[in-house]
Amino acid sequence: MDRVLRVNVKKGEVIFEGVKEDYRFLGGRGLTSKMVLDEVRPDCDPLGEFNKLIIAPGLLGGTAVSSTGRISIGCKSPLTNGIKEANSGGLAGTYLARAGIKALILEGVPDEGKLYILEVDDDGARLVSGEDLRGLGTYETLSKLYAKYGKDVAVICIGPAGEMRLRGASIAVSDPNGELKFAARGGVGAAMGSKGVKAIVIKPPKGSVSYYDRDGFLELARKINKELLDDPKTGDAYKKYGTAQIVNAVNAIGALPTLNFRYGAFEHAKNLSGEILYENVVKRGGEGRTGVTCMPGCVIMCGNVYPDENGRKIVSTLQYETIALVGSNLGFDNLDSVARLNREINDLGLDTIEMGGVLGVAIDAGLARFGDEKSCMALLGEIRRGSVLGKVLGNGVKITGEVLGVSRVPIAKGQGIPGYDPRSLKGNGVLYATSPMGADHTAGNAFGSRNEVNPLSRDKQGDLSRNLQIKITALECLGFCIFARPPLFKNPQVMADLLYYRYGVKFTVDQVWEMGINTLKAEREFNKKAGVSPAQDKLAEFFYTEPLPPTNAVFDVPEEEMKKAIIE
């Protein structure tokens, strides 16, 4: 029987509750966002006692179909002051689903100075002292927790940035290989830090998910998994090149963030490409790997272990957004520097997208130099030390730009822009401005669409983005990774069928898409009450006025077109 695990860190109370009827067929982002709307005061301080951190697997979490183990983490965002859902791969989604925990809620704020670990197992859940982990980076935190609880546990944890409640902080989630994945965006790590919870440790549950029609589900799951393997997009390219496969293409359309969003193409982009990443992994050998899975049963396997010249692991997984924001955006012409900065940002428990934006702004302010690893690393060192400068930087692109007096501050709704310049990929400009999530590519990336809409055109971008936002949000309700979408979008009935075999309730395809629509509506409603929309449905000003070489485009999608993407 599904339950909700409610943890009040002020009272030290841990309660299992039944699931409200309204929530029965909500999952993932659909559930976290509805719960935030229902339970969190929109005007609250996101780092205060009235915010809640809500963690939920998708409706198909823990099942046998590929790529459904995503874990959604929602709250009022300390970064944007609007609603936030950040999701991640790793083990936690699968374990929570198998344990029948539909949602885990952290609420209240602890007595001054308390730091906890939340243990979850088949006997229940409890808060224990996390003092031993105070100040530790995410990697050391994970290894200490493995030593204490065994390597088969799922860990959700924060680094020093989350403990310091810095608004750029992420939440790390352990995967089956003992690596860390990140629910990175929107400062969810600061919200977890404000609850005084350093880590959540979930022991492997004995149970597994139940099926209304197990044979029906398994047969369809096998079919979908095979389609994913047979498709060159998911069966081949991701296994070799990971998400870095898109570097050359984004560069070719002139949308690759370069030198703090001054240019849309980078002369050394090829050196940062998935092809070079793959070549280095093969050539260097040792611990290097591509085709690494981040969730149990995922057949796409887009992860990697990126090695140094001696074959020793630098970081896992080196991926596109980090390469764009920490690579070309900071003027680095080699993946090794990007990988080392990536590892440091991960260990601090920060978002690589936000920090790439921060370092670009800091370089413009004269605090470091483009392409200079040492000066960038020194700024990350300020964050670790908790100096005043470090606290400014760790609080994200917006605050850094304001404090340092920089005019080119790449944000939308208070959040750093990800790896597609909205001037040359206008569908993503619409997304960043209109999505309840702010500048978040995962909410409906127009780069993923076929060659249908000219990325430079002012037309059709509103409908394109609206459609993508709805469909991607629906996937996030089910727990699917968005990369698994080819067989799902080709025949959306399979999603309804999977739900039927799992729950015994018939859904129409329209009802599946409605999960996306209803979620977006709930998020928009929260944001309006929190004062985040519609005046903030905009990009930073320079995107409208400063032409971006080599396309020399500005962001010029008309207001009427933009409005088409707003779902309310």
> How close are the terminal C-alpha atoms of the chain, in Å?
33
Query: Is residue 419 a contact residue for other proteins (CB under 8 A)?
Result: yes
Please, what is the minimum distance in Å from the beta carbon of residue 247 to other proteins? 8
Does 295 engage in binding with other proteins (CB under 8 A)? no
- Determine if 270 is a binding residue for other proteins (CB under 8 A): no
DSSP 217-257: HHHHHHHHHHHHHHSHIIIIIHHHHGGGGGHHHHHHTT-S-
250 binds other proteins (CB under 8 A): yes
Phi/psi for 305 (5° steps) reads -120, 115
Alpha helices in 423-491 (DSSP H): 426-434, 461-478, 485-490
- Closer CB to other proteins, 351 or 364, in the complex: 351
Q: From the CA atom positions of the chain, what is the Rg in Å?
A: 22
Binding other proteins (rule: CB under 8 A), the pick from 66, 138, 170, 319 is 319
Does 321 engage in binding with other proteins (CB under 8 A)?
yes
Of the pair 317, 346, the CB lying nearest other proteins is at 317
Is 324 a binder of other proteins (CB under 8 A)?
Answer: yes
- Structure letter (DSSP) for residue 420: S
Q: How far is the CB of 257 from other proteins (least distance, A)?
A: 12
526 part of the interface to other proteins, by CB under 8 A: no
Considering the complex, state which of residue 153 and residue 247 has its C-beta at the smaller distance from other proteins: 247
Does 253 engage in binding with other proteins (CB under 8 A)? Answer: yes
Is residue 438 left, alpha or beta, with left meaning phi > 0 and alpha meaning psi from -120 to 50?
A: left
From the list 395, 442, 473, 533, which residue makes contact with other proteins (rule: CB under 8 A)? 442
Number of neighbours of residue 11 by Cβ within 10 angstroms: 12
Residue 485, interface with other proteins (CB under 8 A)?
A: yes
Binding characters for other proteins, 532-561, by CB under 8 A (x = yes) = ------------------xx----------
Torsion of CA 154, 156, 160, 165, to 10 degrees: -170
Q: Which is nearer to other proteins, 85 or 119 (CB)?
A: 85
To which residue do tokens 């409610």 refer? Answer: 6
Kindly state whether residue 249 participates in binding other proteins, applying the rule CB under 8 A.
Answer: yes
Choosing from 49, 236, 287, 336, the residue that interacts with other proteins (CB under 8 A) is 236
Q: Choose between 146 and 447: whose C-beta lies nearer to other proteins.
A: 447
Place of tokens 């004269």: 366
Residue 240 burial by CB count (10 A; 0-12/13-18/19+): exposed, middle or buried? buried
Query: 287, 486, 525, 546: which one contacts other proteins (CB under 8 A)?
Result: 486
Of the pair 415, 533, the CB lying nearest other proteins is at 415
Q: Measured from the CB of residue 451, what is the shortest distance to other proteins in angstroms?
A: 6
Least distance CB 555 / other proteins (angstroms): 16
481-485 contacts, C-beta under 8 A, 24 or more apart: 481/67, 481/68, 481/70, 481/89, 481/295, 481/298, 481/300, 482/442, 482/445, 482/448, 483/67, 483/234, 483/238, 483/300, 483/302, 484/66, 484/67, 484/68, 484/224, 484/228, 484/234, 484/300
> Do 547 and 553 touch, CB atoms closer than 8 A?
yes
Catalog residues that contact other proteins under the rule CB under 8 A.
Answer: 232-234, 236-238, 241, 243-246, 248-250, 252-254, 319-321, 324, 419, 441-442, 445, 447-448, 450-451, 454-456, 482-483, 485-486, 550-551
